[in-house]
Amino acid sequence: MTTLTMAKALNAGLRKALAAEPKVLLAGEDIGKLGGVFRVTEGLQAEFGRDRVIDSPLAESGILGTAVGLALRGYRPVVEIQFDGFVYPAFDQIVSQVSRIRFRSGGTQPMPIVVRIPYGGGIGAIEHHSESPEAYFAHTPGLKVVTPASPSDAYWMIQQAIAADDPVIFFEPKRRYHDKGEVDLDQQSADLSLFSARVVKPGTHATLLTYGPMVRTCLEAAMLAEQEGRSLEVVDLRSLSPLDDAVILESVRRTGRAIVVHEAVGTLGLGAEIAARIQQNCFYELDAPVLRVTGYDLPYPPSKVEDAYLPDLDRVLDAVDRSLSW
């Protein structure tokens, strides 16, 4: 086992994919010589050359449009959107073209594009640098949407995404880039499929359903709750589209309570869809309403007050109190 940060684990996963398949190439703003704003692609251009790790113009629509052409010619492009809030110039390309081509062709034309997007807050950034736009893409048929929460998952999931024949929106929780964890670089294959959820902490009193940057927050909340005799199960969704209903519903049926936690705004967020599925399938097993702990329904605030916006331990534990007192 090797201890890596999430950023280094992603770098290792991209390196392994580039080495294994000549048709894999990377493109994005400043990803080559600089190695990306977060240094996720550091050293890859020097190792694989400028034709496979490409510094693109500052034009997200052009990056995605070029990726479509490459995919149609049999390549497997992995494109980086430098920050979450910069994806919108490419939004039309993604939802109007990338998501539909395989369906339009009756499944005969693969569209193996991976769109890497650092997302979420907590880094003290300026406007358009701390967005959580995952619901837009999870709402779009034809797109797969995933997000790792640990270095090990980051290492394996990026490789699995690149190997997929469908377009994958790969959200990377930027404030977890420097979190460390063990990664087995010698293991031959991943433990889970790309679209599987994982129970990261078993529990009996309530289920915390979360993903990406909030997994660590929920684990910390569960540890504090244990000091008060409350056993919380934490489920890392990992895949936002498709959702792993089997793991979600099994956990909620076991605990009888569910709390969904994410940074994105609450209205029409992933939590609303998850709550609806739980209500439809676990109505008679529920001991309390499904609760949501989310960002507030307003634009992401200035960095000096982002701590008041983001879900934290107090807000998660308050929801646990409300659920258990029902």
Residues marked as catalytic: 129
Element of type H or E holding 199: strand 198-201
Contact 274, 241 (CB under 8 A): no
Contact 260, 271 (CB under 8 A): yes
Residue 116 forms beta bridges with which residues? 80, 170
CA distance linking residue 283 with residue 67, whole number of Å:
44
Enter the tokens of residue 200: 């990261």
For 1, residues 6+ apart whose C-beta sits below 8 A from its C-beta are 182, 183, 184
State the CB neighbour count (10 A cutoff) for residue 204. Answer: 12
Contact 212, 38 (CB under 8 A): no
Q: What angle do CA 183, 188, 191 make, to 5 degrees?
A: 65
CA distance linking residue 12 with residue 30, whole number of Å:
18
Torsion on CA atoms 30, 35, 40, 43, rounded to nearest 10: 150
Closest CA to 167 of 215, 114, 127, 217: 114
Enter the tokens of residue 191: 């433990």
Element of type H or E holding 270: helix 270-282
CA distance linking residue 39 with residue 53, whole number of Å:
13
Q: Phi/psi at 308 (nearest 5 deg)?
A: -80, -15
State the CB neighbour count (10 A cutoff) for residue 198. Answer: 18
